[in-house]
Amino acid sequence: MSWTTPDLCDQFPDVQVAEPVFRSFGGQSRFAGRAVTVKCLNDNSRVRELAATPGEGQVIVVDGGGSLRRALLGDQIAANAVTHGWAGFLIFGCVRDVEALAVLPLGVQALASHPMKTEKRGLGEVDVPVAFAGVSVTPGDWIYADANGVIVANTPLL
Walk me through the domains of the chain, giving residue ranges and CATH numbers: 5-153 (3.50.30.40)
pLDDT the model gives residue 28: 97
pLDDT the model gives residue 120: 86
pLDDT the model gives residue 45: 97
16 DSSP β-pair partners: 152
Q: How far is residue 138 from each of residues 15, 34, 61, 66, measured CA to CA in Å?
A: 13, 10, 10, 18
- Per DSSP, helices labelled H in 29-157 are 45-51, 75-83, 98-101
- Note down pLDDT in tens along the chain; length 158 residues: 589 999 999 999 999 999 999 999 999 999 999 999 999 999 999 999 999 999 999 999 999 999 999 999 999 999 999 999 999 999 999 999 999 999 999 999 999 999 999 988 899 999 999 999 999 999 999 999 999 999 999 999 99
**b/e string for 120-153 if b means 16 or more Cβ within 10 A?**
eeeebeeeeebebbebebebebbbbbbebbbbbb
Read off φ and ψ for residue 45, nearest 5 degrees.
-55, -45
Residues 9 and 135: beta-carbon distance below 8 Å: no
